[in-house]
Amino acid sequence: GRGDRGVSCQVLAWGLRGLRGAVREPRLELQWGEQSLWTPPIQDIAANSNFPSNAFVLTLALPEEERFVPPIRLRLWDRADSERRLLLGQASVRDLGRYRCHPPRQGQLLGSGNAGNGSHTVVGHQNRATRSHLSPPASAPHQDEEDEEEEEEEERDWWSKFYASMEEKDPKSLRGTNGDKLKIYGCELEAVPEFEGLQDFCQTFPLYKPGRAPAPGQDPEPVGGFKGLFRIYPVPEAAGACPPPRCFQRLPPSAPQECLVRVYIVRALGLSPCDVTGLSDPYVRVSLGKKTLGRRDQYVPNTLEPVFGRMFELTATIPLEKDLRVTIMDHDTVPPDQEIGSTTIDLENRLLSHFRAHCGLPTLYHTCVSGGHGGDTGGTGEHGERKRGNMGGQGEGTRRKHGGKRGHPPLRHPGEPRERLALHVLNLCELVPEHLETRSLQNSAQPGLEQGKVQMWVDIFPTSLGSPGPPVNIDPRKAEGYELRCVVWRVRDTDLGDINLLGQRMSDIYVSGWLDGLPEQRQQTDIHYRSRDGNGAFNWRFVFPFEFLAAEKLCAIRRKEHVWSSDETLLKVPPKLILQVWDNDKFKADDLLGILELELTRLPRPARSPRLCWASPQDVPWLSRCWCRAPALERSPLNLFRRRRARGWWPCTMQEDSGQRLSGKLQLSLELLTAQEAEERPVGKGREEPNKHPTLPEPKRPKSSFLWLRSPVSLVRHGIRWRYLLWIGLGLVAFLLLLVLLHSFFS
């Protein structure tokens, strides 16, 4: 009762991998139902582990129901002597429905990848997209003059592209990269669904030793692997019908290929701690075949998320040396070092995959010599598809060749139109793009437990195609020295925290400030004594030197965590200026009157006058909204690293149960200089010499601003309001005269 139907099973027998022990002439037997075939033996597996012939066909009748289809049985034999054969391993291939294919449709223009498996990509007329890559875009409308002044041309390297491509970064930062970005995968490249595990050309079927089953809870160890693939087509029943198409006709050379392999290790995430401090000192070790690269002195101290930025270049013969192993080690003072985790990459699958996984395609074409994700400098050939600019170095000669003057938008797509069109068509073929993959690290001592992740990519270049050009420069950016100069001019409308002997509310105001993460640089102004209206004048300069990572937009702080620490720990914090307004007290702790935090990369625009300075747009009076210009808080923030200077009024706030409230206003001048500029224009702290850039005069304060402990006489003179006492005295005299008159009248 089961209807059988004729099918054609086309077999790609590519080779054998990972055979253990001494093997003479291995060959593979494939049995499916009543049909079987033998591959030719491999004469010298140490020189070439691929079969001399690769494509075979089996034709038989199979049941239409999938559950009744017999599995394909694989047996690996080796010649023991001239008459005997030895069975080395065996396996069964089930679930054959995944290998069933349908005849390809007609009218397809361009096929990508799997030849003969029915998977094609149709490239139609993309007029609009093509035109966008062949012609420069129309100029954007003019923006606000202040924004145009802020936008300055920055040096672009691979790290600029990396941080601009990260999802957690501000999307507005992509504007500066001109749309040139890379794809960051949160998993291994083999785990990306659209790339089919990079086994679209051939799969690896493990072969197990025949005999008794392994102990419970233990996985059997394979004795080797068979690299191949199956394609099952229905045989036409009508007489004279065309036979099914032959697969595996256009195959790459089966001889081993000499390749140049470049391994780029960008950073690691969430590593398992190996030291008693809860941290590690990780470094990278790369192994391929008999070669091992990586120096133990190039470790990153005291971190679980190191930024390596290292490139390793090796030569390999694929498939004889196909398993690339990347290991993250923990540096110890006394060897041996401890392994944190490792990951293994099959380079052969990437080289043979029709998705072109050996070298990702960029999104845009550039004309610089310094290579991009693969550093290629050729045309539209195997290497030339990777040509683009300013990704390989930071020196002269690596800048993009953009047209236009400074201040005008550069050409978005430089280069020859034919080359850009070729890259555009390749990007339509669903090939592997310029990317960064995130691979899981495993440790044999703790199987199944992830030890962290490593972000990296691999480029593979067959030497037969010529030189691929210089590699990508992914050296970590070094922190640049900066100096922030903050001048505190005045304070307005602060809270009055004290009450003097006469019941008057007052405050002894001073301002302190520091950069977040650098509390040892804390500085403070002098004290404005006895302020009765909440206003204070200072004319005081703060000077804060620091180091800044422009690509990450973070401050780099190096310090030793403990006295016994041998290495400094690198901390990365946002560049944030913290200012606090205090009320000075002599016999108790000072009272905090207000806090102002200013992030230098997203600096709120200052108000031009204290009348327009408010903590939030809702606090602005209605008349100011109607008749004045847009409130400063509603405008886009400033980047002080581009603007370099800012002056105005910023609000101080205090946190209460009902939320933040306005507790004062600070008039500041902010100036950001590089370390070289600061050395050329030295200034002193406070009002010390050299007092310039700008010159700070003594503040004009009322005569009542003094410390009463130092001037008791001045306290009597200025601290007491004699006018009010005179009127009180006159009132008392009048009252006494009235009492005398009343007494005399009644007596």
Q: In this structure, what CATH number is given to the domain that contains residue 304?
A: 2.60.40.150
pLDDT higher than 80, residue 314 = yes
Measured between alpha carbons, how far is residue 680 from residues 480, 481, 487, 646, 677 in Å? 16, 14, 19, 21, 5
- 491 in a structural domain: yes
Q: Say whether both 486 and 595 belong to one domain.
A: yes
- 310 in a structural domain: yes
Q: Mean pLDDT over residues 504-520, rounded?
A: 91
pLDDT higher than 70, residue 670 = yes
Distance between CA atoms of 470 and 455, rounded to whole angstroms?
A: 21
Query: Does residue 609 sit in helix, strand or coil?
Result: coil
Of 393-397, 501-505, 660-664, where does the model show the most confidence?
A: 660-664
Q: How confident is the model at residue 524 (pLDDT cuts 50, 70, 90)?
A: very high
- 694 in a structural domain: no
pLDDT at 238: 66
Number of structural domains found in the chain: 3
- Say if residues 10 and 56 touch (Cβ distance below 8 Å): yes
More confident residue, 418 or 561: 418
The mean predicted confidence, pLDDT, of the chain is 80
Q: Say whether both 655 and 531 belong to one domain.
A: yes
pLDDT at 187: 94
Q: How confident is the model at residue 295 (pLDDT cuts 50, 70, 90)?
A: very high
Distance between CA atoms of 37 and 53, rounded to whole angstroms?
A: 12
pLDDT higher than 70, residue 393 = no
Q: Say whether both 220 and 281 belong to one domain.
A: no
Residue with tokens 């900066």: 482
| Residue 579 buriedness (CB in 10 A; 0-12 / 13-18 / 19+) | buried
Last residue of a domain, one of 626, 660, 680: 680
Distance between CA atoms of 374 and 391, rounded to whole angstroms?
A: 10
pLDDT tens digits along 156-193: 788 888 888 885 444 444 444 456 788 999 999 999 99
Q: Say whether both 459 and 484 belong to one domain.
A: no
Residue 375: left (phi > 0), alpha (psi -120 to 50), or beta? left
Q: Say whether both 538 and 655 belong to one domain.
A: yes
Cα 662–Cα 667–Cα 673 angle in degrees, nearest 5: 125
Measured between alpha carbons, how far is residue 565 from residues 277, 560, 676 in Å? 10, 6, 31
- Give the E-state strand segments of 209-306 in sequence order: 222-234, 257-269, 282-288, 291-293
| Residue 693 buriedness (CB in 10 A; 0-12 / 13-18 / 19+) | middle
pLDDT higher than 50, residue 571 = yes
Query: Does residue 197 sit in helix, strand or coil?
Result: helix
Q: Mean pLDDT over residues 568-579, rounded?
A: 92
pLDDT tens digits along 472-494: 999 988 899 999 999 999 999 99
pLDDT at 9: 86
Q: How confident is the model at residue 435 (pLDDT cuts 50, 70, 90)?
A: very high
Last residue of a domain, one of 397, 430, 465: 465
The alpha carbon of residue 31 and the mean position of all alpha carbons in its chain are separated, in whole angstroms, by 50
Distance between CA atoms of 387 and 737, rounded to whole angstroms?
A: 105
pLDDT at 432: 94
Q: What percent of the chain has pLDDT over 90?
A: 44
pLDDT at 178: 57
**Amino acid (one-letter) located at 593:** L
Q: Say whether both 526 and 436 belong to one domain.
A: no
Residue with tokens 């800044």: 548
In the numeric block, which tokens belong to residue 679? 């050395």
pLDDT at 711: 55
pLDDT higher than 70, residue 101 = yes
Residue with tokens 């300069």: 541
Residue 198: left (phi > 0), alpha (psi -120 to 50), or beta? left
Measured between alpha carbons, how far is residue 560 from residues 272, 569, 632 in Å? 21, 6, 41
Q: Say whether both 435 and 525 belong to one domain.
A: no
pLDDT at 552: 85
Q: Mean pLDDT over residues 656-664, rounded?
A: 86
Q: How confident is the model at residue 4 (pLDDT cuts 50, 70, 90)?
A: low
- Say if residues 535 and 699 touch (Cβ distance below 8 Å): no
Q: How confident is the model at residue 636 (pLDDT cuts 50, 70, 90)?
A: confident
In eight-state DSSP terms, residue 335 is S
| Poorest-pLDDT segment among 416-430, 454-468, 620-634 | 620-634
| Poorest-pLDDT segment among 237-246, 382-391, 654-663 | 382-391
pLDDT at 634: 57
In eight-state DSSP terms, residue 384 is G
pLDDT at 152: 43
- 117 in a structural domain: no
- 370 in a structural domain: no
Of 132-136, 420-424, 688-692, where does the model show the most confidence?
A: 688-692
In the numeric block, which tokens belong to residue 552? 């990450």
CA dihedral 731, 734, 735, 736 (to 10 degrees): 120
pLDDT higher than 90, residue 339 = yes
pLDDT higher than 80, residue 726 = no
Residue 669: left (phi > 0), alpha (psi -120 to 50), or beta? beta
Q: Say whether both 61 and 30 belong to one domain.
A: yes
Q: Say whether both 298 and 223 belong to one domain.
A: no
**Amino acid (one-letter) located at 363:** T
pLDDT at 185: 94
- Say if residues 181 and 174 touch (Cβ distance below 8 Å): yes
Q: Which contiguous run of DSSP H or E holds residue 516?
A: none
- 588 in a structural domain: yes
pTM, to two decimals: 0.77
Closest CA to 603 of 575, 581, 631, 572: 575
Q: How confident is the model at residue 671 (pLDDT cuts 50, 70, 90)?
A: very high
Q: Say whether both 605 and 574 belong to one domain.
A: yes
pLDDT at 413: 57
pLDDT at 212: 65
pLDDT higher than 90, residue 649 = yes
Q: Cβ neighbours of residue 70 under 8 Å, at least 6 residues apart?
A: 32, 33, 62
Distance between CA atoms of 570 and 567, rounded to whole angstroms?
A: 10
Boundaries of domain holding 347: 257-364+417-465
Q: Classify the C-alpha dihedral 398-402-406-408 as positive or negative.
A: negative
Q: Cβ neighbours of residue 27 under 8 Å, at least 6 residues apart?
A: 38, 39, 40, 41, 42, 76, 77, 78
Distance between CA atoms of 156 and 368, rounded to whole angstroms?
A: 13
pLDDT at 142: 45
pLDDT at 496: 86
Query: Does residue 702 sit in helix, strand or coil?
Result: coil
pLDDT higher than 50, residue 578 = yes
| Poorest-pLDDT segment among 28-42, 501-515, 517-531 | 501-515
pLDDT tens digits along 120-139: 333 444 444 444 444 444 44
- 654 in a structural domain: yes
Q: Say whether both 578 and 543 belong to one domain.
A: yes
Cβ-based neighbour number of residue 190 at 10 Å = 18
For 644-654, b/e burial (b = at least 16 CB within 10 A) is: eebebbbbbbb
Q: Cβ neighbours of residue 403 under 8 Å, at least 6 residues apart?
A: 410, 411, 414
Q: How confident is the model at residue 61 (pLDDT cuts 50, 70, 90)?
A: confident
pLDDT at 621: 54
More confident residue, 188 or 388: 188
The alpha carbon of residue 497 and the mean position of all alpha carbons in its chain are separated, in whole angstroms, by 47
Q: How would you list the strands of the sheet with 338-346, edge to edge?
A: 291-293, 282-288, 323-330, 338-346
- Say if residues 398 and 370 touch (Cβ distance below 8 Å): yes
Q: How confident is the model at residue 554 (pLDDT cuts 50, 70, 90)?
A: very high
Q: Mean pLDDT over residues 696-700, rounded?
A: 91
- 65 in a structural domain: yes
pLDDT higher than 70, residue 618 = no
Distance between CA atoms of 466 and 38, rounded to whole angstroms?
A: 38
Distance between CA atoms of 50 and 36, rounded to whole angstroms?
A: 20
Q: Say whether both 353 and 495 belong to one domain.
A: no
pLDDT at 391: 35
